[in-house]
Amino acid sequence: MEILMSILAGTLFAAGVYLILQKQLLKIVLGTALLSHGAHLFILTMGKLNRGKPPILLEGVKNYTDPLPQALILTSIVISFGVTSFLLVLAYRTYQSNKTDMMDQLRGTDDE
Q: Find the binding residues for another protein in span 36-55 (CB under 8 A).
A: 37-38, 40-42, 44-55
Restricted to residues 93-112, the positions that interact with another protein (CB under 8 A) are: 93, 95-97, 100-104, 107-108
Q: How far apart are CA 22 and CA 19, in angstroms?
A: 5
SS3 category, 110: coil
Site string for another protein, 5-34 (x = CB under 8 A): xxxxxxxxxxxxxxxxxxxx-xxx-x--xx
Beta carbon of residue 61, minimum distance to another protein (angstroms, whole number): 10
Between 57 and 60, name the residue whose CB sits nearer to another protein. 57
State the number of binding residues for another protein (CB under 8 A): 85
Counted residue by residue, the chain has a size of: 112
Residue 27 burial (CB count, 10 A): 15
Contact call for residues 49 and 3 (beta carbons, < 8 A): no
